[in-house]
Structure 1
Amino acid sequence: MKGFVFGAAALLLLSCSSNREKNPPATLFSLVPPDRSGVAFRNDLTYTEEFNMYTYRNFYNGGGVGVGDVNNDGRPDLFFCGNMVDNKLYLNLGNWRFRDVTDSAGVASHNVWSTGVALADVNGDGWLDIYVCKSGSPEGDRRHNELFLNNGDGGPDKTPTFTEAAHQWGIADKGLSTHAAFFDYDRDGDLDCYLLNNSFRSVGGYDLRRNQRLIRDSLGGNKLYRNDGDHFTDVSEQAGIYGSAIGFGLGVTISDLDRDGWPDIYVSNDFFERDYLYLNNHDGTFREALEEHLREISLGSMGADAADLNNDGWPEIFVTEMLPPDDARLKTKAAFESWDKYQENLRNGYFRQFARNVLQLNNGDGTFSEIGRLAGVHATDWSWGALIFDADLDGRQDLFVANGIYKDLLDQDYINFYSVDPAILAAIKNRERGAILRLLEG
C-alpha cells in the first residue's frame, strides 16, 4: 500500500431539495491521497527466520490509530502506531492537510512494536495525552507501554511536546498489550484505565481445562488501573477482573449496558476462551456476568463496539469474527466446527461459541438476543476492529468493520488447523478427561 489513504465525508445533508434526491452523490466518502493529505505513514513489516508470522502469532495484527486534538486548536489530529517502524503524529492543518510532527513532539518510540493507542486527558490538565501499548518480541526493559504526557505547549499550528512518564504513573506494563480504554469506572472525576493484554502462552491444541480463567498470569493478564491523582494503582484482582493466561484479548469497549448510570466493560477474546461482560457494582468492583445475560457469542472474537443501533435507548454489542461471506473462501479458510468439541466447551465452562460475527440486541430487561444473521452482519471475513457511528447523519447508527490480512495463514488445505488437532478430538470424543492434559504435558 503506497502511503495511507483515508476517507473524507462528502456532501452530507447539504440540502433536502428535490435536486439532491434526483442527483445523490456517487459515494458517501472521497479518497484523500497521501500527496494531498501529507499522511504518508506505512506500517511495513520484514520477517526473519527468528521472528515471523509463525514464531509470533500476532505478526499481522497491525497497529492502532488514534484521533484527537492534541494541540487544542479545534481540529482532530492523527496518531499511528508502527510495528517495525516508528509511530507517527500528524497535526491537522485544516482542509484535509496534515504535518508530520513526530520527532519534534517526541513520540516516535524507536524499534519497539507498538499496537493499540488511546488519546485521553490522563492527568486532567485539559490537554490530551497519548498512551501507547507495546507487544512483539520481548526486548528486556525496552518493551513496556508508554505514557506520553502532553506538556501543554501546543496551540493553533503550534507543535505540542510530550514527556514519557509511564513508569512514574505506574502503567509501564510489560504484557503483550493490545489496547487500553480510559474511563471513569468509579465516578470520582478522573480517568481510570482498563488494559487489554494478549497471552504469552501458546494456543497449542486448545487446552479446555476447567477454571483456568481464575488463575492470574504473573507475566500479563488483563488489568484495571485506578487513577489516584498522580499515579495509577493496579486494582484488578480486588475489582473482580480476570487476568489469566487464556485471555487472548483483542477488543474492549466501554458502555452503560444496563443503564444504571455506571460504565460497564465488554472484552472480546480470541481462540477458545469466551468473552467477558463486566457489570459495574457501583463500589469499585465489577461482576462478570456474560453467561447470565447472553445466549451465544463469537468463537474467535476480534473487535467489539457498543452503541444504540435501534434508537430505543439501550446499547447493543457488536463483535467481529472471521466467517467468510462466500463459499470459496469458506472452504479454503474455515474449519468445520466439531459437535464433540462444542460439547466439551460447554462442560468445561467455555460457553456457546460460534464462528461468526454476533450482534447482541439489548432487550432492555437484562437479556440480549443474537441477531447478527438476521441483520446481515454475521460474515465479514477476517475482521478486526468495529466502529459504530452515524456515517450519513440520518439519525441511525451505521457499522464499519476493518477487515483483511496481508497473508492468509489459515488457507492451508493440506493440513488440519490446530483447533481440530486429531489427537485432541480423539481425547474429547472418548470422554477421557485426563487425556487432554496428559497429551499437552507430553
Structure 2
Amino acid sequence: MKKALALLLLTTAVGLADMPAAAQAKKKAAKAVAAQDSVFYVDASANLPEKAVSGPGMDVEAADLNKDGFLDIVIANEYAPNLVMFGDGKGGFRQVPQEQLPFIVLDSEDIAIADLDGDGDLDIVFATEDHTVHELWFNNGSGAFEMRHNLVLNSVSNAVLVKDVNSDGKPDLLFGNAAAKDTPGQNYLYINNGDGTFKNETSQRLPQLLDITQDLKLADIDKDGDDDLLVGNEDGNRVLINDGRGFFKDESASRLPASTAEETRKVTLADVDGDGDLDLYFANVAFRPGKQKQNRLLINNGKGVFTDDTNKRLPVSEEHTMEGAFVDVDGDKDLDLITVDIFKNRPVRAYLNNGKGVFTERTSYILPPNLDLEGIGIKVADFNSDGLKDLYFVNRGAKDRLLLRKKK
C-alpha cells in the first residue's frame, strides 16, 4: 500500500513538473475556486479585473451600456474614480479604458442608469455626498461617456433614483439628501426636459420634509396604478403617496407602524408572502447612539398599509446590514434573502423563505464558505446569460465577489 501511494505521489509530481508553469497555476486556481463553490453558486470572482474591483466601492448597478446584448457593471467609488466594466455575456468582465469614462475623483455614493437625453442609449448618474456636484455621464451609444453638465444641488446625497414620475415618458431624477453631514435636509425632485437637462420641481411635487436620507425606492404599494415613494432615513422612514400625476403626500403616520429606533441604509420591496402585493424590508445599522441594528420586515395589507411582522418572520440580527436583496435561491418559487454587513470580514448571510414569508438562516447551505466581506452592496442579475440570477457583492477595500448560479 505504501509503495503504491509513493508511486502515485511520484507520478503526480512528475506530471506537475512536466506541466507548464502557467497551466499549473491555472489548474491550482481552478481547484481553489471549486473549493469555494456551494450547492447553488460557483465563485466566479476570478473573472473580475483584480485592481479595478478592489477600491472603496459604495454601490453597484448593471445594465447593457454598449448595446452588445450583455450586462455591464457600474461601481460608485468613494474618493476614487468610478468604474465601468463591460461584460462578455459569459460572466467575464473587463474595465473600460480611462478615455471612455474619464477619471474624476468625488465622493460617489449611489448610481442611477437611464436614457436621460432620449437618444436610445443608457446614461449614468452618480450621487455624491461630500461634494455639491452630482455627475451626469452621457453615453455616445458605444459605452463611452462624457460629462456635458452636472447638477449643482448644494446637497449631501447618499441616494439617487431615476424614473418617470410625471408620466411624460422621460426619466426624472430624485436625490435623497441631508443638508450637511448628520444634519437633516430636503430631498429633491428634478423633472427631465427630454434632452438631459432638468427642472427643479421639488417645492411643487414633494412635501417639505427634513431628513437624513440614505435610500429611495419607487413602487406601487397601494395598487392604484402609480408609483409611490419609499424613503429610507437615519431618523425615521417615510411613505409618500403619489396622486397619479407625480405629486407626493406624506402618509407615513397612517401607513407605517410606530417608528422604532432604526437607522436604515437600504429599502427593498418584495412580495415575500406571495399574496400579490409588495412588502417592505429595511436594512438597518446602528452607527448613531440609541439606534437598533435589527432589520425590519413590514407586511402589506394590499392597500399600502404595513404591519411590522419582524419578530415572527426574521431572525434576530446583531449586524450592521447595508443591504438586503431578495432572490429565489432554491428554485421553489418564493423569494429568499441575502444580506451584507459593513464591518470588515463579516459573513454574507442567506435566509430561506418557507413560502409564507418566514425566513430561516441557511448561509452555509446556500453560499460558498469564507464569503466574508466588508459588504456594501448587492446586485442580483443574470451576468452570464443563462437565464439564472447571479450575485455581485461590493466588497469595500478588497476584491469584489461574483457568484454565478449553478444550472439545475
Task: Output the TM-score relative to the length of structure 1.
Answer: 0.65
Say yes or no: does 1:146 pair with 2:192.
no
The 2-side partners of 1:369 and 1:264 are apart by 18
Q: 3-state SS of the aligned residue for 1:94?
A: coil
The 1-side partners of 2:85 and 2:174 are apart by 25
Counterpart for residue 194 of structure 1:
230
Q: 1:322 to 1:145 in 2, by over 3 A?
A: closer
Query: What is the aligned-residue RMSD (CA, Å)?
Result: 2.5
Counterpart for residue 43 of structure 2:
none
Within the candidate set 395, 401, 405, 1:403 is matched to: 395
The 1-side partners of 2:370 and 2:342 are apart by 9
Contact 1:383–1:402 (CA<8 Å) still a contact in 2?
yes
Q: Considering Cα pairs closer than 8 Å and 6+ residues apart, tell me whether 1 or 2 has the greater RCO.
A: 2
What count of residue pairs does the alignment treat as equivalent? 312
Counterpart for residue 127 of structure 1:
170
Say yes or no: does 1:238 pair with 2:254.
yes
Q: Report the alpha carbon displacement of residue 359 of structure 1 after superposing the two structures with TM.
A: 1.2
1:230-269 superposed matches below 5 A: 230=245, 231-244=247-260, 246-269=261-284
Counterpart for residue 177 of structure 1:
213
Say yes or no: does 1:361 pair with 2:404.
no
The 2-side partners of 1:312 and 1:194 are apart by 29
Q: 3-state SS of the aligned residue for 1:179?
A: strand
Contact 1:252–1:305 (CA<8 Å) still a contact in 2?
no
Say yes or no: does 1:96 pair with 2:143.
yes
Q: 1:80 to 1:229 in 2, by over 3 A?
A: same
1:19-418 superposed matches below 5 A: 28-35=92-99, 37-44=100-107, 63-85=109-131, 86-103=133-150, 107-109=151-153, 111-135=154-178, 137=180, 143-152=185-194, 154=195, 160-199=196-235, 221-230=236-245, 231-244=247-260, 246-271=261-286, 272-297=292-317, 299-322=319-342, 324-325=344-345, 356-374=347-365, 375-376=367-368, 379-404=371-396
The 2-side partners of 1:237 and 1:260 are apart by 24
Q: 1:7 to 1:377 in 2, by over 3 A?
A: farther
Q: Which amino acid aligns with 2:262?
A: G
The 1-side partners of 2:397 and 2:129 are apart by 15
The 2-side partners of 1:29 and 1:4 are apart by 15
Q: 1:401 to 1:3 in 2, by over 3 A?
A: same
Contact 1:387–1:401 (CA<8 Å) still a contact in 2?
yes
The 2-side partners of 1:117 and 1:360 are apart by 28
Q: Report the alpha carbon displacement of residue 309 of structure 1 after superposing the two structures with TM.
A: 2.4
Q: Report the alpha carbon displacement of residue 391 of structure 1 after superposing the two structures with TM.
A: 1.2
Q: Which whole-Å deviations, capped at 9, do the CAs of 1:387-437 have from their partners, x for residues lacking one?
A: 11111122221111112259xxxxxxxxxxxxxxxxxxxxxxxxxxxxxxx
Q: Which whole-Å deviations, capped at 9, do the CAs of 1:94-135 have from their partners, x for residues lacking one?
A: 2111121224xxx232x4211111111111221111101112
Structure with more of its chain in strand, by fraction: 2
Structure 1 outlier segments of 4+, above 6 Å: 138-141
The 2-side partners of 1:281 and 1:265 are apart by 11
Q: 1:2 to 1:286 in 2, by over 3 A?
A: closer
Q: 1:116 to 1:242 in 2, by over 3 A?
A: farther
Q: 1:162 to 1:292 in 2, by over 3 A?
A: same
The 1-side partners of 2:267 and 2:110 are apart by 13
Q: 3-state SS of the aligned residue for 2:332?
A: coil
The 1-side partners of 2:250 and 2:143 are apart by 40
Contact 2:293–2:318 (CA<8 Å) still a contact in 1?
no
Contact 1:323–1:357 (CA<8 Å) still a contact in 2?
no
Contact 1:319–1:359 (CA<8 Å) still a contact in 2?
yes
Q: 1:175 to 1:140 in 2, by over 3 A?
A: closer
Contact 1:298–1:319 (CA<8 Å) still a contact in 2?
no
Q: Which whole-Å deviations, capped at 9, do the CAs of 1:66-88 have from their partners, x for residues lacking one?
A: 11122333322100012233101
Contact 1:360–1:368 (CA<8 Å) still a contact in 2?
yes
Say yes or no: does 1:7 pair with 2:85.
yes
Q: 1:359 to 1:30 in 2, by over 3 A?
A: same
The 1-side partners of 2:369 and 2:105 are apart by 30
Task: Output the TM-score relative to the length of structure 2.
Answer: 0.70
The 1-side partners of 2:224 and 2:244 are apart by 10
Contact 1:3–1:34 (CA<8 Å) still a contact in 2?
no
Q: Which amino acid aligns with 1:278?
A: L
Q: Which amino acid aligns with 1:9?
A: G
The 2-side partners of 1:139 and 1:300 are apart by 18
Contact 1:88–1:108 (CA<8 Å) still a contact in 2?
no
Contact 2:160–2:173 (CA<8 Å) still a contact in 1?
yes
Where structure 2 has 5 or more consecutive residues not aligned to the other structure, the ranges are 1-78, 287-291, 399-408
Q: Which whole-Å deviations, capped at 9, do the CAs of 1:141-160 have from their partners, x for residues lacking one?
A: 9x4211111123x2xxxxx2
Q: Report the alpha carbon displacement of residue 2 of structure 1 after superposing the two structures with TM.
A: 5.9
Counterpart for residue 44 of structure 2:
none
Q: Which moved more, 1:307-316 or 1:112-121?
A: 307-316
